[in-house]
Amino acid sequence: MPVTHDGSGPRLRLRGYLGARLGPLALLLVAAVAISAPVAFYVLGTRAARVQARATAQQFAAVVRHEAEQRPLLWKYDSPKMLAHLRAYDDPRAHVEHIAVIDAMGQSIDRESDADIAALSALPIVWERAPVTVNNEDVAEVWVAASTEQVRVGALRMLAIFGLLGAALAGLMYWLPLRAMGRVEREIGTLLDQLRESRAALSTLAENLEQQVEARSSDLSRALAELKDKEQNLRELSTRAVSMQEAERRAIARELHDSAGQSLTAIRIHMQLIEGLAGQAGDNAGRLGELAVRTTTMVDETLEEIRRAVNTLGPAVLDDVGLGEAIERACLDLAERLEIEVDCDVSLPDTGLPPAIETSCYRVVQEALTNVTRYAQPSHVEVHVRVAGGQATVRVHDDGRGFDPEAAIRAGRSRGLVGMRERAELLGGELRIDSAPGEGATITAVIPLG
C-alpha cells in the first residue's frame, strides 16, 4: 500500500497510486476507441471498392470479349474508341479512376503514357482485373482502378471523431475513479487520524492506569504489611493474654491452696479435737460428736472441691512433671475410672513448648477426656500429641456414642467445645470436630508454634 510520511505521521497516497495505474489504461482506451472504428471503416470501404472495381472489370471484359468474337482481327483497333465510350458512360458511384485493356503480349491497347500511369500510382486506388477469354484462350485482360479517396477521407474523419470520443471516455475512466479514490483517501486519512488520536489517548490512559495500579498495589502492599503486623501483634497479645490468664489462675490456685486450704485443714483438725473432747462430755456429748462429724465431712468435701478448682484454674501438674507426663497421667486416670483401653502417644521436642501452647494442649486433652467421661461411653480411646512442621497437633478419638457438633454448639450444651476452639484460635490455630451419632468422635487441634 502506498504510504508517505509527514510531520503528523504516515499518510496514504491512494490517488497518486491509482492515477499511475490508470494512465496506461486511459491511453490504451483512447487508442482502441480512436483506431478500431476508422480502421474497420477503411477496410470495409476498400473491400467495397475492390468489389465494385471487380464488377466493372467483368462488365468491360464482357464487352471486349463480344467485340473480339465479332471481329477477331479488328477489335484491338476499335478498343480505344470503345473504352472512351465506356468511360464516358461509367457510373460515378463506382469511383472508377481508370480502365485499361492489356493484350496477351502485355501491351496496353489504348497506349497510355508513363505520365498517366505515374499520375494513377500517386492516387489512393485499388486495381482489379478480369480476363477476356475467346475460344478458351485469354486474349486480353481488363484492369479497373477504383479510387479509395473517399474511404480514406471518411476514415480520417472517423479517426478524429472517435479520437475525441476515446479521449472523453478515457478522461471519464481516469477522472471518476480518481475522484472516488480521493474521497476514500480523505475518509481513510480521517479514520487514521482518529485512530492515531485514539491510540494516543489509549496510551495515555494505559499509562495512567498503570500508575494507578502501581499506586493501588503499593497501598495494598502497605495495607497487607500493616495487617500482618497487626495480626502478629494480635497473636502476641493473645499469647500474652493467655499467659497472663494462666498466671492469674495459678496465683488464684496458690492463694486458695495456701490460705483457704490451710484454714480449712486447721478447721478440720479442730473439729477432730472437738469430736474427741465430746466423748468426755456429759449428756450432750453424742449430739456434739455428731455435729463435729458432719462438719468434718463438709470440710473434706470443701477441700476436695478446692483441690479440683485449683487443678482447673492452674494445672500444677504441668509445672511439676511437664506436658507429656501430665497427659499420660490424665489418660491413665481415665482408663482406671472407666475401666477401658486408652492409647496415649505423646511426641514432644526435647526443648519443650512455650508455656501458653503447653497449657492449651493440656486443656484440649483435659476437656476432651472430660466429655468422654460424661457422655461418650466408649470402649477405646486414643490420644495423640505430635509436634512437626512448626505446629503442634492434638488428636483425641473415641468409639463412643458420638454426637452432632453443630447442633450441640447451637444449643449451648457444650461450653467445653467452644472453650477448646477459642483456645486454639487465640493462638492462631484451629479446632476440628468430626463426629456423628453412633460413630464416635474425633477432636483435632492444630496450633502453630510461632
**pLDDT > 90: percent of the chain:** 12
Contacts of 404-412 with C-beta under 8 Å, sequence gap 24+, read: 404/435, 404/436, 404/437, 405/433, 405/435
**pLDDT > 70: percent of the chain:** 71
Mean pLDDT over 434-447 rounds to 92
- For domain 7-171, give the fold: Beta-Lactamase (3.30.450)
Which residue type, as a one-letter code, is found at position 373?
T
The pLDDT value recorded for residue 434 is 92
Within 8 A by CB and 6+ apart from 360, the residues are 242, 423, 424, 426, 427, 445, 447
pLDDT band at 392 (very low <50, low <70, confident <90, very high): very high
Mean pLDDT over 421-425 rounds to 83
Q: Considering only CA atoms, which of 359, 375, 345, 355 is closest in space to residue 437?
A: 375
The string of pLDDT tens digits covering residues 17-69 is 777 888 888 888 888 888 888 888 888 888 888 888 888 888 888 877 877 77
- For domain 315-448, give the fold: Heat Shock Protein 90 (3.30.565)
The string of pLDDT tens digits covering residues 266-308 is 677 766 777 666 666 555 566 666 767 777 777 777 777 676 6
Structure pTM? Answer: 0.41
pLDDT band at 244 (very low <50, low <70, confident <90, very high): low
More confident residue, 214 or 273: 214
Contacts of 30-35 with C-beta under 8 Å, sequence gap 24+, read: 30/163, 30/166, 30/167, 30/169, 30/170, 31/166, 32/166, 33/162, 33/163, 33/165, 33/166, 33/169, 33/170, 34/159, 34/162, 34/163, 34/165, 34/166, 34/167, 35/159, 35/162
In whole angstroms, what is the distance from residue 242 CA to residue 199 CA?
61
Answer yes or no: is pLDDT of 119 > 80. no
- The domain segmentation of the chain, as residue ranges, is 7-171, 315-448
Mean pLDDT over 195-213 rounds to 88
The pLDDT value recorded for residue 316 is 62
